[in-house]
Structure 1
């Protein structure tokens, strides 16, 4: 039972995780093997010359390999040779890709595990790498020197040598690990304790981070987190050429409520506004307490008309959460899908719309809605921009 549990735990970890190869460890190993920024740049420069010749290189390599009887026996058939050739093609492309991170390390460790499992001895593996280097050498040598980048044949061959050595040592990590006996029980207990401690630290760190991004009174994202979310959502909207809307609202005469009924009552109202907002937002929407009695709701992939429908629906549910005497002033701004406001301008437009609604609300004591420009393009280019910025207040009372 204990052995089955151990196997199950192993299948939930990457090979790098099993061997305790962390990001820090990867960085140290890259330094040891000379995988510097210059080396990475050199390998990346080689890629554009190697890529067009990749099939030719793979073919020559396996012609050499299949001339060795022991290797030919291991390969066995044409279908396996074809699969190996495809895998080698991917291997070589990754070799010059320029990304030697945890994913790269895991792939190299997996190569070692597969070779060990199918019975490829270390001598055959190393000889294959030597043949691969020999096959690549003429193609590397044929790359023109580039004085502007201080790249010559010697530096390119040295960079290729370094990355092959880096790969070999990772492959042999799995060879060695597969031959080790079970770790002594006392060492395992220490590792288990360290792992649990690390998990606890990570959990506490995550909780602290969550607390630093959340408004404790309302349960919504706080002011700092709002800007992070909005920056990300704006970038995504621009990338996908989609509209995004922002609802900016506050509680009318909130200071008077605090002064007349006390801060505890005011805090209770703020908490209920948080619950109301959370009950109405969709999965991708983000609700935030902007500060004081001001709130924002980010509505990705949403037009101003759709945002207005959302606002009406939210207000229609308000009596379930909040005293009937509470009123809101709501401003809505849209940007995109063609032209976009910057973050501050976008918030500013929604804020202006909210204050316009508040001014109108003073005359009719209603819950009011005001709309900002439909896009940055309209605000910047329309001769009637002012008429787009403020529309008539709309009664949103349920």
Structure 2
């Protein structure tokens, strides 16, 4: 059931049986109820004076005066106190009475009345009520009637204090739980943020800052994983190793800024042409590797041709590629180092051709 559909007593699980149990603990009996009801006319007669005396003392306390704040609020409080005092002598202390007391506690807690101020106010109210009794029964203060009435008032005020403090405690628990949940939410958000930042940092640590391709460390991590997958699922895996022709001369004649621009272009073109499953890496300097899962040499050649075509159509400063493409699987596999060395050796065959005649060359493994 939603909280707004429940009374305060229901929210705090204060049932009719619980109410009677609380009365028993305070020895608050039907006789006490009858005594209070019997003397209601007395307190009804002096109610205005009782309220006036109570607030005359209350507003002398700086903290209370600041909480009250203005004359209109004071009048509302005086009216509420008048009703409360008369309710003390109604003789009916059932679920409805309990809910009214709980509401009082909730209001006091919301406006910032501390437990010490509330206890002090109850103590003052008791003194004013007993003063009224003394005035009415002057000379008979030791009579059984007076003692019974004072005891009944004491018991009922203790009963009310219990209920008011239940709301204080429940509100504090609710605030603590809300604070815990906020802290938990913050912690979860912080964990997510840290995890995201960690992933980003890890990603950055595996990427080449200039080209945006994976670096050599990441290359070997990816290659180990893809070789293992290819062996497990008996699939072909291709590796393209390529080097830039004329790159050293470009750096020497036009400077590293122009060289870096070409490297950036290689990264941009490569990432644009690779498929989602392909992995582009800058192996180091002007050497690059492409890991191509589920791709045979001819399919790898088609992909690298697309990269070459796009690069040729760009501001490439006359740079070309020497490429070596090797494959393994689905039946036979080699170790990772041999796989890379084979692709590198094929690249150097293309490199030898480019020295004789500048251009793009690709050598496929047999």
Partner of 1:293: 286
The whole-number CA distance in structure 1 between the counterparts of 2:342 and 2:175 is: 65
Aligned with 1:207 (options 192, 200, 203): 200
CA deviation string 1:169-188 (max 9, x = no partner): xxxxxxxxxxx999721222
Aligned with 1:246 (options 228, 232, 239): 239
Q: Is structure 2 residue 333 aligned with structure 1 residue 363? A: no
Q: Is structure 2 residue 184 aligned with structure 1 residue 191? A: yes
1:324: how far off?
5.6
Partner of 2:145: none
Partner of 2:165: none
1:317: how far off?
1.4
Partner of 1:20: none
Aligned 1:271-350 pairs, distance under 5 A: 271-323=264-316, 325-350=318-343
Alignment root-mean-square deviation, CA = 2.1
CA deviation string 1:303-336 (max 9, x = no partner): 1111111111221111343426111101111111
- Assess if the C-alpha contact under 8 Å between 1:361 and 1:367 holds in 2: yes
Aligned 1:51-70 pairs, distance under 5 A: none
Aligned 1:1-398 pairs, distance under 5 A: 184-323=177-316, 325-373=318-366
The whole-number CA distance in structure 2 between the counterparts of 1:224 and 1:321 is: 29
| Gapped regions of structure 1 (runs ≥ 5) | 4-179, 374-398
The whole-number CA distance in structure 2 between the counterparts of 1:361 and 1:220 is: 25
**SS at 2:203 equivalent:** helix
**SS at 1:317 equivalent:** helix
The number of residue pairs the alignment matches comes to: 196
CA deviation string 1:88-127 (max 9, x = no partner): xxxxxxxxxxxxxxxxxxxxxxxxxxxxxxxxxxxxxxxx
CA deviation string 1:265-304 (max 9, x = no partner): 1111000000010011111000000000000011111111
**SS at 2:333 equivalent:** coil
- Assess if the C-alpha contact under 8 Å between 1:247 and 1:332 holds in 2: yes
TM-score normalised by structure 2 residue count: 0.51
Higher-Rg member (1/2): 2
- Assess if the C-alpha contact under 8 Å between 2:262 and 2:317 holds in 1: no
Structure showing greater relative contact order (alpha-carbon pairs closer than 8 Å, 6 or more residues apart): 2
Partner of 2:120: none
1:343: how far off?
0.4
- Assess if the C-alpha contact under 8 Å between 1:275 and 1:321 holds in 2: no
| Gapped regions of structure 2 (runs ≥ 5) | 4-172
- Assess if the C-alpha contact under 8 Å between 1:276 and 1:321 holds in 2: no
**SS at 1:312 equivalent:** helix
1:229: how far off?
0.5
- Assess if the C-alpha contact under 8 Å between 1:273 and 1:321 holds in 2: no
1:190: how far off?
1.7
The whole-number CA distance in structure 1 between the counterparts of 2:183 and 2:317 is: 60
Partner of 1:171: none
**SS at 1:184 equivalent:** helix
CA deviation string 1:344-389 (max 9, x = no partner): 100001000001100011112121111223xxxxxxxxxxxxxxxx
The whole-number CA distance in structure 1 between the counterparts of 2:229 and 2:181 is: 45
- Assess if the C-alpha contact under 8 Å between 1:273 and 1:322 holds in 2: no
